[in-house]
């Protein structure tokens, strides 16, 4: 099993552009057989409200299909030091915050 390398590394300059119009998004992800020739990069995206598979569709639409997606937070809850496959109970404050946002 590989462990995540938490050391900081310098990355290549990003290929970024502002999208003035919403790109056309495919109905589903690109088949795996096409992924071996696409550029790879780690990016962080913050969504305040999203739809099903939104990140995968957005990155595929600009030529960088999502190969791995890691969710680190949902609302006020973050993973922190929680290890893969483990769980913890929500705190009363987290439950209150979730219920407040649920409306």
- How many angstroms separate the CA atoms of 65 and 60, rounded? 4
The beta-strand segments (E) located in 1-103 are 73-74, 77-78
Q: Which span out of 13-27, 67-81, 84-98 was modeled with the highest average pLDDT?
A: 84-98
Q: Say if residue 2's pLDDT is above 50.
A: no
Number of domains in the chain: 2
Assess whether pLDDT exceeds 60 at residue 68: yes
Range of the domain at 18: 1-70
Beta-carbon-side half-sphere exposure of residue 90 (alpha carbons within 13 Å): 12
92, 45: one domain: no
pLDDT score recorded for residue 1: 42
Is the CB of residue 26 less than 8 Å from the CB of residue 60? yes
**Is residue 87 located within the same domain as residue 38?**
no
Identify whether residues 51 and 9 lie together within a single domain: yes
**pTM of the complete model:** 0.51
Q: Phi/psi zone of residue 27: left (φ > 0), alpha (ψ -120 to 50 degrees), beta?
A: alpha
């Amino acid at each position: 099993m590989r462990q995540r390398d938490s050391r900081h590394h310098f990355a290549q300059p990003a290929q970024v552009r502002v999208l003035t119009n919403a790109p056309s998004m495919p109905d589903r992800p690109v088949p795996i057989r096409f992924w071996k020739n696409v550029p790879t990069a780690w990016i962080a995206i913050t969504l305040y409200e999203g739809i099903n598979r939104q990140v995968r569709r957005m990155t595929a639409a600009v030529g960088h299909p999502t190969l791995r997606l890691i969710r680190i937070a949902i609302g006020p809850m973050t993973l922190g030091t929680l290890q893969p496959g483990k769980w913890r109970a929500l705190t009363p404050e987290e439950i209150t915050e979730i219920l407040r946002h649920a409306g």
